[in-house]
Structure 1
Amino acid sequence: MDDKKGLTIRSIDRALEILDCFLGDQHEFTLNEIAEKVSLSPSTTYRLLNTIAQKDYLSKNSNKKYSLGPKMAILGSLCSEMKYDHLVEAAKIYMDQLNKKYDESISLYTVEGDNIICIERFETTRALKQAIGKGDCLPLVSGASGKLLLAYEPINHQRKLIGDDLFLWSAIEKIQADGFAFSTGEKAEGVSCIATPVRNSEGKVVASFTMTGLFTRFQDEELKEKIADTLLMARSVSEDLGYRADSK
Protein backbone atom coordinates (compact mmCIF):
# COMPACT_ATOMS: atom_id res chain seq x y z
CA MET A 1 0.00 0.00 0.00
CA ASP A 2 1.28 3.49 -0.92
CA ASP A 3 1.65 5.36 2.40
CA LYS A 4 1.12 8.73 0.71
CA LYS A 5 -2.05 7.50 -0.98
CA GLY A 6 -3.30 6.11 2.30
CA LEU A 7 -2.91 9.48 3.99
CA THR A 8 -4.99 11.44 1.45
CA ILE A 9 -8.49 12.69 2.25
CA ARG A 10 -10.78 11.64 -0.58
CA SER A 11 -12.98 14.76 -0.63
CA ILE A 12 -9.92 17.04 -0.79
CA ASP A 13 -8.39 14.84 -3.45
CA ARG A 14 -11.54 15.12 -5.54
CA ALA A 15 -11.73 18.90 -5.08
CA LEU A 16 -8.14 19.24 -6.31
CA GLU A 17 -8.94 17.03 -9.29
CA ILE A 18 -11.72 19.45 -10.15
CA LEU A 19 -9.35 22.42 -9.96
CA ASP A 20 -6.90 20.51 -12.17
CA CYS A 21 -9.53 20.63 -14.94
CA PHE A 22 -8.74 24.33 -15.38
CA LEU A 23 -5.01 23.82 -16.04
CA GLY A 24 -5.51 23.39 -19.79
CA ASP A 25 -6.63 25.73 -22.55
CA GLN A 26 -10.34 25.53 -21.65
CA HIS A 27 -11.33 27.98 -18.92
CA GLU A 28 -15.05 27.27 -18.48
CA PHE A 29 -16.90 23.98 -17.91
CA THR A 30 -20.46 22.83 -17.30
CA LEU A 31 -21.28 20.59 -14.37
CA ASN A 32 -21.55 17.55 -16.64
CA GLU A 33 -18.22 18.31 -18.36
CA ILE A 34 -16.44 18.44 -15.00
CA ALA A 35 -18.18 15.30 -13.76
CA GLU A 36 -17.02 13.44 -16.84
CA LYS A 37 -13.42 14.71 -16.55
CA VAL A 38 -13.09 13.63 -12.90
CA SER A 39 -15.17 10.45 -13.28
CA LEU A 40 -17.74 11.34 -10.63
CA SER A 41 -21.52 11.40 -10.65
CA PRO A 42 -23.12 14.80 -11.39
CA SER A 43 -24.65 14.90 -7.91
CA THR A 44 -21.31 14.35 -6.14
CA THR A 45 -19.60 16.79 -8.50
CA TYR A 46 -22.30 19.40 -7.82
CA ARG A 47 -21.78 19.19 -4.05
CA LEU A 48 -18.03 19.61 -4.46
CA LEU A 49 -18.43 22.48 -6.93
CA ASN A 50 -20.89 24.22 -4.65
CA THR A 51 -18.47 24.03 -1.71
CA ILE A 52 -15.53 25.30 -3.77
CA ALA A 53 -17.61 28.12 -5.27
CA GLN A 54 -18.89 29.22 -1.84
CA LYS A 55 -15.26 29.76 -0.83
CA ASP A 56 -14.68 31.84 -4.04
CA TYR A 57 -12.15 29.44 -5.56
CA LEU A 58 -14.58 28.88 -8.44
CA SER A 59 -17.24 31.12 -10.00
CA LYS A 60 -20.48 30.16 -11.71
CA ASN A 61 -21.66 32.44 -14.52
CA SER A 62 -25.12 33.09 -15.94
CA ASN A 63 -24.66 30.24 -18.45
CA LYS A 64 -24.20 27.83 -15.53
CA LYS A 65 -20.56 27.30 -16.41
CA TYR A 66 -17.78 27.22 -13.85
CA SER A 67 -14.52 29.15 -14.05
CA LEU A 68 -11.72 29.97 -11.64
CA GLY A 69 -12.79 32.36 -8.90
CA PRO A 70 -11.25 35.52 -7.42
CA LYS A 71 -9.38 33.72 -4.65
CA MET A 72 -7.45 31.71 -7.26
CA ALA A 73 -6.30 34.97 -8.85
CA ILE A 74 -5.14 36.22 -5.45
CA LEU A 75 -3.24 33.00 -4.79
CA GLY A 76 -1.67 33.15 -8.25
CA SER A 77 -0.55 36.73 -7.67
CA LEU A 78 0.98 35.86 -4.29
CA CYS A 79 2.73 32.86 -5.82
CA SER A 80 4.24 35.01 -8.57
CA GLU A 81 5.38 37.62 -6.05
CA MET A 82 7.18 35.01 -3.95
CA LYS A 83 8.64 33.35 -7.04
CA TYR A 84 10.17 36.60 -8.27
CA ASP A 85 11.02 38.27 -4.96
CA HIS A 86 14.79 38.07 -5.51
CA LEU A 87 14.55 39.41 -9.06
CA VAL A 88 12.26 42.29 -8.07
CA GLU A 89 14.43 43.26 -5.12
CA ALA A 90 17.50 43.39 -7.37
CA ALA A 91 15.70 45.57 -9.92
CA LYS A 92 13.72 48.01 -7.77
CA ILE A 93 16.54 50.42 -6.95
CA TYR A 94 17.44 50.81 -10.64
CA MET A 95 13.80 51.07 -11.72
CA ASP A 96 13.35 53.86 -9.18
CA GLN A 97 16.45 55.70 -10.45
CA LEU A 98 15.30 55.58 -14.07
CA ASN A 99 11.74 56.54 -13.15
CA LYS A 100 12.94 59.60 -11.22
CA LYS A 101 15.38 60.70 -13.94
CA TYR A 102 12.90 60.63 -16.84
CA ASP A 103 9.47 60.41 -15.18
CA GLU A 104 8.54 57.59 -17.55
CA SER A 105 6.90 54.28 -16.60
CA ILE A 106 9.44 51.58 -15.76
CA SER A 107 8.35 47.94 -15.74
CA LEU A 108 9.84 44.53 -15.15
CA TYR A 109 8.43 41.60 -17.15
CA THR A 110 9.18 37.90 -17.15
CA VAL A 111 7.94 34.87 -19.07
CA GLU A 112 5.00 32.77 -17.86
CA GLY A 113 4.17 30.08 -20.40
CA ASP A 114 3.16 31.77 -23.66
CA ASN A 115 2.74 35.13 -21.92
CA ILE A 116 4.72 37.80 -20.15
CA ILE A 117 3.73 39.01 -16.70
CA CYS A 118 4.48 42.41 -15.18
CA ILE A 119 6.13 41.64 -11.83
CA GLU A 120 7.00 45.22 -10.87
CA ARG A 121 6.14 48.69 -12.14
CA PHE A 122 7.08 52.28 -11.30
CA GLU A 123 4.44 54.58 -12.78
CA THR A 124 4.97 57.99 -14.38
CA THR A 125 3.38 61.09 -12.84
CA ARG A 126 2.49 62.36 -16.32
CA ALA A 127 -1.08 62.36 -17.58
CA LEU A 128 -0.58 59.67 -20.24
CA LYS A 129 -0.32 56.21 -18.70
CA GLN A 130 -0.55 52.68 -20.04
CA ALA A 131 -3.42 50.54 -18.81
CA ILE A 132 -0.97 47.89 -17.62
CA GLY A 133 -0.26 47.19 -13.98
CA LYS A 134 1.67 44.84 -11.77
CA GLY A 135 0.36 41.30 -12.21
CA ASP A 136 -1.05 41.90 -15.70
CA CYS A 137 -0.28 39.41 -18.48
CA LEU A 138 0.27 39.97 -22.20
CA PRO A 139 1.04 37.61 -25.09
CA LEU A 140 4.72 36.82 -25.48
CA VAL A 141 4.56 38.02 -29.09
CA SER A 142 3.17 41.41 -28.02
CA GLY A 143 5.15 44.67 -27.94
CA ALA A 144 8.80 45.35 -27.28
CA SER A 145 8.86 43.60 -23.89
CA GLY A 146 7.31 40.40 -25.21
CA LYS A 147 9.44 40.26 -28.34
CA LEU A 148 12.60 40.96 -26.30
CA LEU A 149 11.90 37.97 -24.07
CA LEU A 150 10.79 35.83 -27.01
CA ALA A 151 14.13 36.55 -28.71
CA TYR A 152 15.91 34.68 -25.90
CA GLU A 153 13.45 31.81 -25.48
CA PRO A 154 14.39 28.23 -26.54
CA ILE A 155 14.04 27.68 -30.28
CA ASN A 156 11.15 25.21 -29.86
CA HIS A 157 9.15 27.82 -27.98
CA GLN A 158 9.95 30.42 -30.63
CA ARG A 159 8.80 28.09 -33.42
CA LYS A 160 5.57 27.37 -31.58
CA LEU A 161 4.67 31.05 -31.23
CA ILE A 162 6.18 32.52 -34.39
CA GLY A 163 5.39 29.77 -36.88
CA ASP A 164 5.99 31.00 -40.43
CA ASP A 165 5.66 34.72 -39.62
CA LEU A 166 8.75 36.01 -41.46
CA PHE A 167 8.22 39.56 -40.22
CA LEU A 168 8.34 38.39 -36.58
CA TRP A 169 11.39 36.19 -37.22
CA SER A 170 13.13 39.25 -38.70
CA ALA A 171 12.17 41.34 -35.65
CA ILE A 172 13.58 38.66 -33.32
CA GLU A 173 16.86 38.56 -35.26
CA LYS A 174 17.18 42.35 -35.04
CA ILE A 175 16.60 42.28 -31.28
CA GLN A 176 19.30 39.63 -30.86
CA ALA A 177 21.71 41.73 -32.94
CA ASP A 178 20.90 45.06 -31.22
CA GLY A 179 20.62 43.69 -27.67
CA PHE A 180 17.37 45.59 -27.03
CA ALA A 181 13.86 46.06 -28.49
CA PHE A 182 12.06 49.26 -29.41
CA SER A 183 8.47 49.76 -30.53
CA THR A 184 5.91 52.52 -30.96
CA GLY A 185 2.16 52.07 -30.87
CA GLU A 186 2.12 48.28 -30.51
CA LYS A 187 0.37 47.99 -27.14
CA ALA A 188 -1.13 51.50 -26.97
CA GLU A 189 -1.48 54.23 -29.55
CA GLY A 190 1.17 56.93 -29.24
CA VAL A 191 3.22 55.01 -26.67
CA SER A 192 6.85 54.02 -27.25
CA CYS A 193 8.66 51.23 -25.42
CA ILE A 194 12.32 50.34 -24.85
CA ALA A 195 12.93 46.80 -23.58
CA THR A 196 16.30 45.52 -22.41
CA PRO A 197 17.42 42.08 -21.14
CA VAL A 198 18.17 41.15 -17.53
CA ARG A 199 20.36 38.08 -17.13
CA ASN A 200 21.00 35.79 -14.17
CA SER A 201 24.33 34.41 -12.98
CA GLU A 202 24.24 31.74 -15.72
CA GLY A 203 23.73 34.33 -18.47
CA LYS A 204 20.09 33.35 -19.08
CA VAL A 205 17.71 36.22 -19.88
CA VAL A 206 15.17 36.17 -17.04
CA ALA A 207 13.40 39.52 -17.40
CA SER A 208 12.75 42.53 -19.56
CA PHE A 209 13.66 45.88 -18.00
CA THR A 210 11.34 48.28 -19.82
CA MET A 211 10.72 52.02 -20.21
CA THR A 212 7.48 53.32 -21.75
CA GLY A 213 6.16 56.78 -22.49
CA LEU A 214 4.65 59.17 -25.04
CA PHE A 215 6.31 58.67 -28.45
CA THR A 216 7.15 62.38 -28.78
CA ARG A 217 9.61 61.97 -25.89
CA PHE A 218 11.32 59.02 -27.61
CA GLN A 219 12.90 60.77 -30.58
CA ASP A 220 16.43 61.35 -31.90
CA GLU A 221 19.05 62.13 -29.24
CA GLU A 222 16.58 61.76 -26.37
CA LEU A 223 15.75 58.25 -27.59
CA LYS A 224 19.44 57.32 -27.82
CA GLU A 225 20.02 58.55 -24.25
CA LYS A 226 17.02 56.61 -22.92
CA ILE A 227 18.12 53.42 -24.68
CA ALA A 228 21.64 53.77 -23.26
CA ASP A 229 20.36 54.38 -19.72
CA THR A 230 17.80 51.55 -19.86
CA LEU A 231 20.52 49.16 -21.07
CA LEU A 232 22.81 50.39 -18.28
CA MET A 233 20.17 49.80 -15.60
CA ALA A 234 19.39 46.32 -16.97
CA ARG A 235 23.10 45.46 -16.90
CA SER A 236 23.32 46.71 -13.31
CA VAL A 237 20.45 44.42 -12.29
CA SER A 238 22.13 41.53 -14.10
CA GLU A 239 25.41 42.15 -12.28
CA ASP A 240 23.60 42.24 -8.94
CA LEU A 241 22.13 38.85 -9.88
CA GLY A 242 25.66 37.52 -10.42
CA TYR A 243 26.04 37.94 -14.18
CA ARG A 244 29.51 38.81 -15.48
CA ALA A 245 29.68 39.53 -19.20
CA ASP A 246 33.44 39.02 -19.42
CA SER A 247 33.12 35.50 -17.98
CA LYS A 248 30.64 34.25 -20.59
Structure 2
Amino acid sequence: MQKFLLTSLMLIAAIVAVSSCTHSDNDGQVKYVLSDDTPLDTAAAPKLPKGGPVHEMKSRIVDGRLKDIFNDSNHTQLRAAVANGIDPIVDLRSAFYLKRPLVKLNTCKLYYVATMKDSAPYLVPKAANLLKQIATAFADTIVARGGKAYRLRVTSMLRTDYSVAQLQQRNRNATSQSCHRYGTTFDISWSKFDCMDPSYQISQESLKNILAEIIYDFRARGKCYAIFETRQGCFHVTVR
Protein backbone atom coordinates (compact mmCIF):
# COMPACT_ATOMS: atom_id res chain seq x y z
CA MET A 1 0.00 0.00 0.00
CA GLN A 2 2.76 2.44 0.98
CA LYS A 3 4.79 1.68 -2.15
CA PHE A 4 1.64 2.22 -4.20
CA LEU A 5 1.16 5.63 -2.56
CA LEU A 6 4.72 6.70 -3.32
CA THR A 7 4.43 5.57 -6.93
CA SER A 8 1.14 7.41 -7.36
CA LEU A 9 2.50 10.65 -5.92
CA MET A 10 5.46 10.46 -8.28
CA LEU A 11 3.13 9.89 -11.21
CA ILE A 12 1.13 12.95 -10.19
CA ALA A 13 4.31 15.03 -10.20
CA ALA A 14 5.24 13.69 -13.64
CA ILE A 15 1.82 14.56 -15.05
CA VAL A 16 2.10 18.08 -13.67
CA ALA A 17 5.50 18.61 -15.26
CA VAL A 18 4.05 17.74 -18.66
CA SER A 19 1.22 20.24 -18.19
CA SER A 20 3.65 23.09 -17.35
CA CYS A 21 2.54 22.98 -13.69
CA THR A 22 -0.70 24.83 -14.33
CA HIS A 23 -3.59 24.52 -11.92
CA SER A 24 -6.97 26.00 -11.15
CA ASP A 25 -7.42 28.46 -8.30
CA ASN A 26 -11.05 27.48 -7.87
CA ASP A 27 -11.79 25.58 -4.67
CA GLY A 28 -12.52 21.93 -5.26
CA GLN A 29 -10.60 21.76 -8.52
CA VAL A 30 -7.61 19.50 -9.06
CA LYS A 31 -4.45 20.93 -7.58
CA TYR A 32 -0.92 20.06 -8.59
CA VAL A 33 1.99 18.43 -6.81
CA LEU A 34 5.18 20.29 -7.62
CA SER A 35 8.33 18.35 -8.43
CA ASP A 36 11.71 19.68 -7.40
CA ASP A 37 13.78 19.85 -10.59
CA THR A 38 17.05 20.80 -8.91
CA PRO A 39 20.00 18.86 -10.43
CA LEU A 40 20.74 15.92 -8.18
CA ASP A 41 23.85 14.35 -6.78
CA THR A 42 22.52 10.87 -6.11
CA ALA A 43 25.87 9.25 -5.48
CA ALA A 44 26.35 7.65 -2.08
CA ALA A 45 28.75 9.21 0.37
CA PRO A 46 32.36 8.03 -0.12
CA LYS A 47 33.43 5.13 2.06
CA LEU A 48 35.54 6.27 4.97
CA PRO A 49 39.04 4.83 5.37
CA LYS A 50 39.46 2.74 8.51
CA GLY A 51 41.64 4.03 11.28
CA GLY A 52 41.89 7.61 10.01
CA PRO A 53 42.00 10.61 12.38
CA VAL A 54 38.66 11.86 13.67
CA HIS A 55 38.58 15.57 14.49
CA GLU A 56 36.62 17.40 17.16
CA MET A 57 35.01 20.71 16.24
CA LYS A 58 33.71 23.36 18.57
CA SER A 59 30.06 24.37 18.55
CA ARG A 60 28.23 27.34 20.04
CA ILE A 61 25.17 25.56 21.38
CA VAL A 62 23.81 26.89 24.68
CA ASP A 63 24.47 24.94 27.87
CA GLY A 64 22.04 22.20 28.82
CA ARG A 65 20.74 18.85 27.64
CA LEU A 66 19.54 18.93 24.05
CA LYS A 67 16.27 17.22 24.94
CA ASP A 68 15.59 20.06 27.41
CA ILE A 69 16.57 22.78 24.95
CA PHE A 70 14.54 21.41 22.03
CA ASN A 71 11.27 20.54 23.72
CA ASP A 72 8.50 22.25 21.72
CA SER A 73 5.39 20.21 22.37
CA ASN A 74 3.48 18.33 19.69
CA HIS A 75 0.51 20.60 20.45
CA THR A 76 2.60 23.69 19.69
CA GLN A 77 4.01 22.20 16.52
CA LEU A 78 0.59 20.99 15.43
CA ARG A 79 -0.77 24.54 15.42
CA ALA A 80 2.01 25.59 13.07
CA ALA A 81 1.50 22.50 10.91
CA VAL A 82 -2.21 23.18 10.49
CA ALA A 83 -1.53 26.84 9.65
CA ASN A 84 1.19 26.15 7.08
CA GLY A 85 0.43 22.70 5.72
CA ILE A 86 -1.85 20.70 3.48
CA ASP A 87 -5.01 18.93 4.48
CA PRO A 88 -3.86 15.48 5.65
CA ILE A 89 -4.00 12.86 2.89
CA VAL A 90 -6.45 10.17 3.89
CA ASP A 91 -6.36 8.25 0.61
CA LEU A 92 -4.77 8.52 -2.82
CA ARG A 93 -7.65 10.50 -4.29
CA SER A 94 -7.13 13.33 -1.82
CA ALA A 95 -3.68 14.00 -3.29
CA PHE A 96 -5.44 15.41 -6.38
CA TYR A 97 -7.36 18.00 -4.35
CA LEU A 98 -4.65 19.68 -2.35
CA LYS A 99 -5.20 23.31 -1.40
CA ARG A 100 -1.44 23.81 -1.20
CA PRO A 101 1.28 22.31 -3.43
CA LEU A 102 3.93 19.82 -2.35
CA VAL A 103 7.58 19.71 -3.38
CA LYS A 104 9.28 16.37 -3.99
CA LEU A 105 12.70 16.18 -2.35
CA ASN A 106 15.57 14.07 -3.61
CA THR A 107 19.07 13.32 -2.44
CA CYS A 108 21.40 16.21 -3.29
CA LYS A 109 24.74 17.63 -2.20
CA LEU A 110 23.16 19.21 0.90
CA TYR A 111 21.20 16.25 2.27
CA TYR A 112 20.61 12.56 1.72
CA VAL A 113 16.99 11.41 1.62
CA ALA A 114 16.96 8.07 3.40
CA THR A 115 14.69 5.20 2.37
CA MET A 116 11.42 5.89 4.18
CA LYS A 117 9.10 3.09 5.27
CA ASP A 118 6.44 5.25 6.88
CA SER A 119 6.56 8.50 4.96
CA ALA A 120 7.00 9.99 1.48
CA PRO A 121 9.68 12.53 0.40
CA TYR A 122 7.33 15.50 0.02
CA LEU A 123 7.04 18.82 1.88
CA VAL A 124 5.17 22.07 1.39
CA PRO A 125 7.46 24.65 -0.30
CA LYS A 126 7.97 26.63 2.92
CA ALA A 127 9.22 23.54 4.77
CA ALA A 128 11.37 22.43 1.82
CA ASN A 129 13.01 25.85 1.78
CA LEU A 130 13.66 25.67 5.54
CA LEU A 131 15.33 22.27 5.16
CA LYS A 132 17.55 23.66 2.42
CA GLN A 133 18.52 26.64 4.58
CA ILE A 134 19.36 24.43 7.57
CA ALA A 135 21.41 22.05 5.41
CA THR A 136 23.25 24.96 3.76
CA ALA A 137 24.05 26.59 7.10
CA PHE A 138 25.26 23.24 8.47
CA ALA A 139 27.62 22.64 5.53
CA ASP A 140 28.88 26.24 5.47
CA THR A 141 29.55 26.26 9.23
CA ILE A 142 31.70 23.14 9.02
CA VAL A 143 33.79 24.57 6.17
CA ALA A 144 34.12 27.94 7.93
CA ARG A 145 35.56 26.17 10.98
CA GLY A 146 38.18 24.29 9.01
CA GLY A 147 36.30 21.15 8.00
CA LYS A 148 35.28 19.78 4.63
CA ALA A 149 32.10 18.67 2.90
CA TYR A 150 29.37 17.05 5.00
CA ARG A 151 25.68 16.62 4.33
CA LEU A 152 22.66 15.83 6.50
CA ARG A 153 20.46 12.74 6.42
CA VAL A 154 16.67 13.29 6.30
CA THR A 155 14.80 10.30 7.70
CA SER A 156 11.11 11.27 7.60
CA MET A 157 8.78 13.72 5.85
CA LEU A 158 5.14 13.49 4.73
CA ARG A 159 2.96 10.81 6.34
CA THR A 160 -0.55 9.68 5.43
CA ASP A 161 -3.23 8.45 7.78
CA TYR A 162 -2.41 4.93 6.60
CA SER A 163 1.32 5.23 7.28
CA VAL A 164 0.68 6.78 10.69
CA ALA A 165 -1.53 3.83 11.61
CA GLN A 166 1.18 1.41 10.45
CA LEU A 167 3.79 3.26 12.49
CA GLN A 168 1.63 3.19 15.61
CA GLN A 169 1.63 -0.60 15.52
CA ARG A 170 5.41 -0.58 16.02
CA ASN A 171 5.97 2.62 18.00
CA ARG A 172 3.84 3.38 21.05
CA ASN A 173 5.01 7.01 21.01
CA ALA A 174 3.63 7.61 17.51
CA THR A 175 0.53 9.82 17.60
CA SER A 176 -2.40 9.99 15.21
CA GLN A 177 -2.07 13.79 15.45
CA SER A 178 1.32 13.74 13.74
CA CYS A 179 2.65 16.99 12.31
CA HIS A 180 4.12 14.92 9.49
CA ARG A 181 0.59 14.57 8.05
CA TYR A 182 0.65 18.23 6.99
CA GLY A 183 3.86 18.23 4.93
CA THR A 184 5.39 20.81 7.24
CA THR A 185 7.65 18.56 9.27
CA PHE A 186 10.85 16.64 8.67
CA ASP A 187 13.28 14.58 10.77
CA ILE A 188 17.03 15.16 10.49
CA SER A 189 19.28 12.46 11.91
CA TRP A 190 21.73 13.54 14.61
CA SER A 191 23.29 10.08 14.82
CA LYS A 192 24.33 9.70 11.17
CA PHE A 193 25.90 12.18 8.76
CA ASP A 194 27.43 11.83 5.31
CA CYS A 195 31.15 12.68 5.09
CA MET A 196 31.64 13.66 1.46
CA ASP A 197 35.41 14.14 1.77
CA PRO A 198 37.08 11.29 3.73
CA SER A 199 40.29 13.31 4.06
CA TYR A 200 38.77 15.18 7.01
CA GLN A 201 36.46 13.29 9.34
CA ILE A 202 34.63 14.91 12.25
CA SER A 203 33.30 13.14 15.32
CA GLN A 204 29.60 12.33 15.46
CA GLU A 205 29.29 14.25 18.74
CA SER A 206 30.73 17.40 17.18
CA LEU A 207 28.45 17.09 14.15
CA LYS A 208 25.42 16.60 16.40
CA ASN A 209 26.22 19.73 18.39
CA ILE A 210 26.83 21.83 15.27
CA LEU A 211 23.49 20.70 13.85
CA ALA A 212 21.89 21.60 17.19
CA GLU A 213 23.53 25.03 17.00
CA ILE A 214 22.10 25.61 13.51
CA ILE A 215 18.57 24.47 14.39
CA TYR A 216 18.67 26.50 17.61
CA ASP A 217 19.49 29.63 15.59
CA PHE A 218 16.57 29.09 13.18
CA ARG A 219 14.28 28.34 16.11
CA ALA A 220 15.39 31.49 17.96
CA ARG A 221 14.57 33.53 14.86
CA GLY A 222 11.04 32.16 14.79
CA LYS A 223 11.54 29.99 11.71
CA CYS A 224 10.69 26.62 13.23
CA TYR A 225 9.84 24.48 16.24
CA ALA A 226 11.99 21.50 17.16
CA ILE A 227 12.19 18.41 19.36
CA PHE A 228 15.34 16.45 20.12
CA GLU A 229 14.24 12.82 19.87
CA THR A 230 16.55 10.46 21.71
CA ARG A 231 15.03 7.11 20.71
CA GLN A 232 14.67 7.98 17.04
CA GLY A 233 18.06 9.72 16.88
CA CYS A 234 16.73 12.79 15.10
CA PHE A 235 15.68 16.42 15.33
CA HIS A 236 11.96 16.67 14.64
CA VAL A 237 11.48 20.05 12.93
CA THR A 238 8.25 21.86 11.97
CA VAL A 239 8.27 25.05 9.91
CA ARG A 240 6.58 28.14 11.38
Give TM-score, length-normalised by structure 1. 0.30
Point out the structure with the larger helix share: 1
Pick the structure with greater CA Rg: 1
